Structure 1
C-alpha cells in the first residue's frame, strides 16, 4: 500500500484489502497497548468505562472481564463501520447481556451522557481527530469528576510512520494532545514510559476536573 493509503486506513479502516490488512496490523501492533491501557485505568467492578476508537475490540474484551459488578458497564465508540462490526461480533455475548454497548459514531457525536463515565481509554487515535481540542472537550464532558483517562502509544513506531509520510504534520506529538487535555479541564496530565513483553510504549494519564 502507498503511504497515504496506509494513513487513511489506519484512521478509518474500510471494507477493502487494505482495510483487512490494517485490521491484522491492529492485532499484531495494538494488542499490548490495548491490554496495558485497560490495566493502567485501574478499572473497578462497578465502573462505567468507555473505549474510544476501539478497532477490532481487543481492549473491549480485556475491559469487560474486569466489570464483574452488577453496575459495571462498558461503552465503545468507533467511526469505522468495518471496525464496529468486527468488535460487535467479538463482544456479541456481552452485548446480549446488556453489559456492553457499541456505537458506530464520530467522536464528536457519540451518544454518551454527561458526567457518567469513570474511566476512558484509547490507543493510537488522537492524532487522527480533525480537532484535537474539541475531541478532548467531548471526553471531558462525558466523564465524572475525578474520572481517569489513559491513552497508550508507541512513539518509536509513530516516528517511523511519520518518516514514511503515512501521517502528516506534528499532531502526533503527545505534548500537543496533553496541552489540549489541560486546556479542556483535565488535571494531573502526564506522560510515562512503560515496558511490557519487551515492547517499550508510552502512556498519557489525565484526571477530569469539574
Structure 2
C-alpha cells in the first residue's frame, strides 16, 4: 500500500505542531519527537556532565520520557522543565508523576521569551531541537545566560541547516542554523564556547524509517 502524498497545508500543520504541539495531534507529535530525538537527547545529556546535587533546566522538554535516565546520572539532581506547549506539560506530568511526587522534578509553562527564574539559578541547562523556534533568539540566549550559574554549562543541540533544508516542512516556522551561526548567537549573549560536537545521529522519520542526520551540540559556559 502506497503512502499518501502530503500537500503543503499538511506539511505546514506538521511544522506548527513541531513548534508547539497542541491537542490530540500534539500528543502524537510529542510521541514522534520523543522517538526521533531519543539518541540526540541522550547524547546531549551525556555531554552535560551532570554531578551530584546540581540544578538542571531543560528548555522544551516535550513529553520528557527521557527523564528517568537523566535523573540516574547523579544523585540529588533537581530538574526543572519549561515548555511553551501546555499539551506537552500535561503529558510530561503524566509520564513522570512518580518523579514529581518525589519532589525532584517540576514542569512549567513558558512564553518562549522569558525564563521566570532567578539569576544564576541553574548549574546545567540544555535544549534539544528548540532553537529553530525561538521568537527572539538573541534575547532568549541572554535569558539562558542570566539564569545559568557562573561556572555552569549550557548544551544546545540542533540538526544542521544543510540537513534540515532537505525536509519538506522546514520552510514554515523554522529558523535554521549552521555551526557558525549557533556559535555566534551564543557568543553574542555572553557565553564562552567550550566545545562543539559535530556528529551523525540516527533518527526515526515520520514514516518509521531510520534516517541519518548531521547534528551539532554546542557546549557553552558562563
TM-score range, shorter chain: 0.7 to 0.9
Q: How does 1:1-210 map onto structure 2 within 5 Å?
A: 2-17=10-25, 19-69=26-76, 72-155=77-160, 157-161=163-167, 164-168=168-172, 171-174=175-178, 175-188=180-193, 190-195=195-200, 201-208=215-222
CA distance in 2, matches of 1:169, 1:91: 29
User: 1:190 offset after TM fit, Å?
Assistant: 4.5
Q: Name the Cα RMSD after superposition.
A: 2.2
Deviation at 1:62, TM superposition (A): 2.6
Instruction: Give a deviation string over 1:119-145, Cα, whole Å, max 9, x none.
Output: 111110011011100110110000011
Q: Tell me which protein shows more helix as a share of its residues.
A: 1
Secondary structure at 1:204 match in 2: strand
Q: Does the Cα contact within 8 Å between 1:6 and 1:166 map onto a contact in 2?
A: no
SS of corresponding position for 2:41: helix
Residues 109 and 126 of structure 1: CA distance in aligned 2, closer, same or farther (over 3 Å): same
What displacement does 1:112 show? 1.7
Aligned residues: 203
- Structure possessing the higher radius of gyration over alpha carbons: 2
Q: Which consecutive unaligned segments of at least 5 residues does structure 1 have?
A: none
Question: Quick one: distance in 2 between partners of 1:85 and 1:102?
Answer: 9
Q: TM-score, normalised by structure 1?
A: 0.87
Q: TM-score of the superposition, structure 2-length normalised?
A: 0.82
Go from structure 1 to structure 2 and tell me whether the alpha carbon gap of 1:63 and 1:139 turns closer, same or farther (over 3 Å shift). Answer: same
Counterpart CA distance in 2 for 1:169 and 1:74 is 29
